[in-house]
Amino acid sequence: MGLILVDNQFLPQAILLVQNAKDEICISSFKLESSDLPRGRRVKKFYDVLIERLKSGVKVKLLMNWHSNRRSVPKTNEPAGRKLQTHGGDVRFLKNNRCCHAKILVVDREKALIGSHNLSIRSCESNFELSYLIPDPESVAQISQVFESSFSDAQRLGS
């Protein structure tokens, strides 16, 4: 049985999933934001844990929203994406200026979080958001397949 995560319930669960990752973390998000400001410390912790996992050898794949003309792209996406890329994350965006709006977190192809939460301060702190933790292997396999299909056809950030 899954778990519904409303508003600020999302981030602690996402951090826990990432902390326990052994092999691979797959993320898709419309907005990314990491900030050292007091208001952004909880979200920054998510990114800090991702970087820790990267350093320990866990693969991190990030599919983010990006357009060459930067229309409809949050300004915070590029710095957050580049930070993960600097630490060894595989950061990509959809081709043909397609908007990446799916919010997905899959860890070790065993558990998935899907819903409306972006990896941003507002989404994790003040917006009305709802996401769902899926422990069911068959459903997680389907979500992983969708992610991999989009990710494998995506363009690397900076290329």
State pLDDT tens for residues 123-148: 988 999 999 999 999 999 999 999 99
Task: Looking at the structure, give the CATH architecture of the domain made up of residues 3-156.
Answer: 2-Layer Sandwich (3.30)
Asked if 50 and 11 touch (Cβ cutoff 8 Å), the reply is no
Asked if 24 and 67 touch (Cβ cutoff 8 Å), the reply is no
Please report the pLDDT score of residue 105 as a whole number: 98
Cα–Cα distance for residue pair 133/90, rounded to 1 Å:
24
Model pTM score: 0.94
**φ, ψ for residue 109, nearest 5 deg:** 55, 25
DSSP 148: H
When pLDDT is cut at 50, 70 and 90, the band that residue 60 belongs to is very high
- Tokens 């996992």, residue located: 53
When pLDDT is cut at 50, 70 and 90, the band that residue 71 belongs to is low
State pLDDT tens for residues 76-100: 888 899 999 999 999 999 998 888 8
Residue 59 sits at the vertex; the CA angle it makes with 114 and 144, to the nearest 5 degrees, is 35
